[in-house]
A and B are shown apart, each in its own frame.
Chain A
């Protein structure tokens, strides 16, 4: 019996960078066949530069810091969201490329793209055109601000959409400027929501044979993560401000320094019972007997002083050791891990969330795997991200009946192939 819930679903994937690629990666992890299409002269921007000298100063993250001969197949960011996909190249600026694309649409369930709005129309591949080819096709467009409205042609990146969503106005230190998350946050949020949208459309399509067009705005998706703040304005015309890690109802609620250069622990106390347990672990310090810390309201009023006292204690402790001691005594606490430490966490390893994968031309690395456990159709990682154009021949010959000779000719004419072309 198949372990793949989305077996038989085929996605023609034009997405790039992070947002759309994460959506199709989730579907790929669940067993859908993702045919990722790139251009030889404009590969997915998350592959990074083609030339090794340019790659050396790019942020795409090469294993051991080494771009290697083919840095575009070694970008760690690219590997992070493109596993389980089949990768082909097609020149969509050429009539032959468009013709092949349309043949793929005929046998596809979904066309996914996150270009700026005019791109697909310029190719003659808007939803109306795709629907002519395949009435059951589902098309997903996910530009920064949606496909309608005054900002529809505005380019955006995660870092620019985050402030436009309201998120940045509420993120940062209490007396400081607005901030973004340290990763381009709206991208994966939109990606997760886009996967949800595709599943709704696929379920409908399987039952009725009817496809449809989906417009997803990264700005709007990110706004939905701020529901309470929006409702507060709607109800009370109140604008929420930045407050660092302060919580409206909980104190202590902060990241405290631990032993080490940049090691911290998160402690958040939500009841008097948890407060008493915290004091027990701390050895019943004298300062805590003060009225100032006796109730939750008092602790909120005296939060700055409370945090100072707490940090004087945490700074002498190891962040992991302290987390376990506190949790074993019923106090919510969690180490603030470096992104590199997450794959070594014993809980995530025991969960089977961390998988050690072999990457071609790279080697073996622990990898964040499948973020769900399903008893019948858990999904799996069957391969790491494709090299540029790696599956062009197999996809075109297997799925479209193109002969080997015809394929060689297409490569010669630069319609497809595995070698990048300088733009």
Chain B
């Protein structure tokens, strides 16, 4: 079978999904937990997302919103993270709410939650209770610092995770303060690791018939991301402090006519090719000041002076393509507008159109990877709050219309 699902959308004859036999009871909110359960949902699992009555997942309030008009059904973050999931509202602090959760646990394969450690236990929904209801259950808890340890009850944010993992220390120009990355990278790391560990537990269950408890810490997820960098710091005794000039040069950003480009030519033959491609005298490549990546780093200012005029009269795309022909690696600094307009990404069909009753049709980022047999797919947009209450409470669990109406009045759902 060809690898080219070139337009990214689903071929008509492949409706198979990999995870459709898996039922996930999703108690998560905000980003890390929902990104974990998004991976399940987008590859076919039946994910039931439990939200607080009235307010729902806090991500519904974060936006971005079309025209900056807040609306709980139009939050960009929520819409992106919650494709393919069903929503039911349930107040977990009520006896009825907890009873319903326990009923759903009976047939669930997985429960994922990202409350503060101790919350599930205080609700009477801890691992001991749930696993006794369903010994095959995999329960995954994602938290800031894990379920154990001296920082267990500490508060956190992406900035704090970047700091404690050693990641911030690497970022910045060495003059200003250390930097975190854009958005909330640490949340995404923990979401992916939560998915990985949960899937491994599901694989283990095939052999043992039993479930288990999975404890993922956002801090450890970030440490895992820079695991070799940490080991290098430990073994060399040197912490890889951020610097304004990299040690092997050039591997840095340069301004050009219409923006910036990252040039990577720390070794030969790339440096000579770079110099030639930019129309400079190839002899310059052999100038003693510039003859190794190390020397070029020490004379970085002069390297910049040399290259800049040739870069400033070319646009990013021209430089990128010229260097590509020489086999020299570079990267254009693209912003979100550039990405949506990218010929490469559009030919790959990376962006997908998703229709939603409140926002209409919008383009979303698409598949994290292409699979030939069990492709990624948006079967349904993010759910509205409690959209599937009736479907789940009546059709699946057998409660009557009357009961459902009473519960809504009582704020139980």
Contact = CB atoms under 8 A, between A and B. Distances in A.
A contact face: mostly helix, strand, loop, or mixed:
mixed
Interface string B224-266: 1111111111111111111000011001010100001110100
Contact of A151 (B224, B234, B237, B344): B344
Given A65-B237, A213-B372, A377-B212, A2 B207 contact: yes
Given A200-B374, A334-B156, A163 B220 contact: no
Interface in B260-293: 260-262, 264, 292
A266 B39 contact: no
Contacts of B365: 220, 223-224, 227, 230
Interface stretch (B1-9, B84-92, B398-406): B1-9
B181 A164 contact: no
Contact of A245 (B180, B253, B371): B180
18 contacts: A78-B228, A80-B231, A148-B348, A157-B329, A163-B333, A165-B334, A176-B176, A189-B188, A192-B196, A206-B203, A214-B369, A220-B369, A226-B182, A230-B340, A254-B177, A255-B163, A340-B166, A372-B196
Nearest to A128: B1
B169 interface: yes
Contacts of A196: 39, 192, 195-196, 199, 368
Interface in A326-370: 327, 330-343, 345-348, 350-351, 353, 362, 365-368
A227 to B, nearest CB: 4
A335 B18 CA distance: 42
B200 interface: yes
A236 B336 contact: no
B183 A228 contact: yes
A172 B244 CA distance: 12
Interface in B198-216: 199-204, 206-208, 210-216
A124 interface: no
A253 B180 CA distance: 11
A255 B226 contact: no
Given A196-B195, A221-B368, A236 B164 contact: no
A236 B399 CA distance: 42
A159 B262 contact: yes
- The 10 closest A-B CB pairs, nearest first, are A80-B228, A182-B170, A231-B76, A160-B331, A334-B160, A61-B232, A339-B233, A170-B182, A338-B239, A376-B212
Contact of A171 (B147, B182, B363): B182
Contacts of A268: 157, 159-160
A22 B223 CA distance: 13
A331 to B, nearest CB: 7
Interface string B351-370: 00000000100111111111
Contact of A183 (B76, B180, B229): B229
Given A46-B228, A195-B196, A227-B76, 20 more contacts: A4-B204, A80-B229, A128-B1, A150-B344, A168-B260, A169-B333, A173-B172, A196-B195, A196-B199, A200-B43, A200-B199, A203-B18, A212-B373, A223-B350, A231-B364, A234-B363, A255-B159, A262-B241, A327-B155, A339-B226
Interface string A306-336: 0000000000000000000001001111111
B389 interface: no
Contacts of B159: 245, 247, 253-255, 266, 268, 334
A372 B193 contact: yes
A90 interface: no
B64 A336 contact: no
A67 B22 CA distance: 49
A216 interface: yes
A43 interface: no
B79 interface: yes
Contact of B66 (A185, A235, A331): A235
Central interface residue in A196, A250, A334, A362, by most chain B CB within 10 Å: A334
A228 B345 contact: no
A211 B373 CA distance: 8
A172 B371 contact: no
A132 B207 CA distance: 29
A103 B303 CA distance: 50
